[in-house]
Amino acid sequence: MTGSSPRPAVRETAIPGLLVVDLAIHGDARGWFKEHWQREKMIALGLPDFAPVQQNVSFNAAVGTTRGFHAEPWDKYLGVATGRAFGAWVDLRPGSGFGRVVTHELDPGTAVFVPRGIANAFQALEPNTAYTYLVNDHWSPDAAYSAVDLGDPALGVEWPIPLDRAVVSDKDRANPSLAEATAVRPLETVVLGGTGQLGRALRASFGGAGGGDPVPARFPGRGELDLASPESIRSYDWSGVGTIINAAAYTAVDRAEVDGRADAWTVNATAVGVLADIARRRRITLVHVSTDYVFDGSTSPHIEHEQPAPLGAYGASKAAGELAVQLVPRHYLIRTGWLIGDGPNFVRTMARLAEDGVDPAVVADQTGRLTFADELARGIRHLLDRRAEHGTYHLSNGGPVVSWFDIARDVFAEVGHEPGRVRPTTTGAYVGERVAAGQAIAARPMHGELDLAKIRATGFDPEPAATALQRYLSSH
């Protein structure tokens, strides 16, 4: 083989998540060379960052040697190192796609990404065919996996070499039919903080809202998993968990400056450190929700790699938790701000004041964008479902940057009241009134706008905050 084949490309198949990769082969008189896996290039092409931990090689001397169908409990990225093979895959994940089959011929210029839950089988078409594959969990002789009969008529696989003339192990010949096969249960998602504004939106999201097969999720209460107790976190049953979404936090910003400081650090820093250690050791994806309060608000917009500079105890505790999360190989650190969801919040307060005939004074010199809980949940699901590159992302609703004063006026108008009833004030005046009344108040970042370019680059288009506000008020 001389010269080079076309540049690498990734192709989808009829089984969601099963991807065929056309590899570039570079050959000359000496032979050929290929990059079977090159993380940066492959991710850019659309392959998931599946974090392989082990490489295996399988050698078949005789033509017709056939292996499978096996659905091992891990993701797999495979190709042919030498020779040629026929590959077949059947979806054993629960849902409408169960039993769907895809076949493809494999040579050194082809690789396939096989997600967990899809059974694979191979038949050697040339002598001395060798497969090489990467997996993202360590092989164990005790590992249990689902299997299917290679010759089940329900699959309709047309093997190039009939199975009665193929080399098949006794174990594979005894595999069950598709009708008797055990579906591969997806790894579960554990959501912490399920009773909060974001937690409630995540409950709706993981309940199957929006179509498609729901991802199994647990929402442990404080009686099952108490973030104030490291031992409670460690003793929780983390088996079968693929993702942790930490939507819990100590958010009493003002109280954190006085008698709530220890509680803020316990929940926002210490507990997050324990979760991060569990996620790292168990190779779990950790999604952690942080805040614009890790910044001092002196610049706008805030970008993902900006150096944190918290103004108060709450922001400092959240910044400390971020440091732990960033040590987890598979993490999504999501910063947000100005959250509005199902529960007490600024928008509901302004709507109530409008109806009660109160004319509030609202700060006009703090700027940012609202983040509606359902949009934040949608963004989290987007990153997970798309298997976007791990790292830090900023996420809020879109649209122009506004002040709390602007939002209050919009709320008054949306609920049918005169927006001119809302009076502007400054942060300094507001703080002065609170202090004079003997109330503790923490410093707020003056500019909370988050740059959204990075998450937009993943294909997520945040809904304009004004549109979300109209819908929110019409339904609450």
Ordered by start, the domain boundaries in the chain are: 3-180, 188-475
133 in active site: yes
SS3 label, residue 433: helix
**What is the spatial distance between Cα 442 and Cα 252, in angstroms, rounded to a whole number?**
10
Strand order of the β-sheet with 54-60 is 9-12, 19-22, 110-114, 76-82, 129-135, 54-60
Pairing label, strands 3-4, 25-28: antiparallel
Crossing angle for the helix pair 313-325 and 271-282, nearest 10 degrees? Answer: 10
| CB 271, CB 228: distance < 8 Å | yes
Residue 12 in this model has a pLDDT that exceeds 80: yes
Residues 63-80: what's their mean pLDDT? 94
Rounded alpha-carbon distances, angstroms, from residue 196 to 158, 251, 287, 413 = 53, 11, 16, 28
3-state helix, strand, coil in the chain (%, to 5): 30, 25, 45
Query: Prior bond to 69 cis, omega within 30?
Result: yes
The whole-number pLDDT of residue 464 equals: 97
- Per-residue pLDDT of 363-400, as tens digits, reads 999 999 999 999 999 999 999 999 899 999 999 999 99
Contacts for 158 with CB less than 8 Å, ≥ 6 apart: 103
Tell whether the model's pLDDT for residue 211 goes beyond 60. Answer: no
Average pLDDT taken over every residue of the chain: 93
Residue 246 DSSP SS3 = strand
Is 17:115 a contact under the CB 8 Å cutoff? yes
Q: What CATH number matches the domain at 3-180, 3.40.980.10, 2.60.120.10, 1.10.10.10, 2.60.40.2550?
A: 2.60.120.10
Mean pLDDT of 220-226: 93
Catalytic residue, from 70, 104, 145, 382: name it.
Answer: 70
Neighbours of 366 (CB within 10 A): 20
Q: Which of 72, 167, 175 is nearest to 124 (CA)?
A: 167
User: Can you say how many angstroms the Cα of residue 247 is from the centroid of all Cα atoms in its chain?
Assistant: 13
Task: Find the length of the chain.
Answer: 476
Name residue, tokens 């949940």.
Answer: 377
Q: What is the pTM of this model?
A: 0.78
Tokens standing for residue 339: 């959250």
From CA 411, how far away is CA 183, in angstroms rounded? 49
Q: What is the pLDDT of residues 270-293, one digit of tens each?
A: 999 999 999 999 889 999 999 999
Q: Based on C-alpha coordinates, what's the Rg of the chain?
A: 27
Which residue is listed with tokens 């088996």?
239
Please say whether the dihedral angle defined by the alpha carbons of residues 431, 372, 276 and 37, taken in this order, is positive or negative.
negative
Q: What integer is the mean pLDDT of 209-219?
A: 67
Angle at 165 between CA 151 and CA 84, to 5 degrees: 85
Do the two domains 3-180 and 188-475 of this chain adopt the same fold?
Answer: no
Structure token pair of residue 345: 């919040």
**Range with lowest mean pLDDT among 1-10, 255-264, 402-411, 463-472:** 1-10
pLDDT confidence of residue 1: 54
Q: Is 138 a catalytic residue?
A: no
**Residue among 77, 131, 133, 332 flagged as catalytic:** 133
Residue 6: pLDDT band (50, 70, 90) is: low
As a CATH number, domain 188-475 is: 3.40.50.720
- Output the pLDDT for position 141: 74
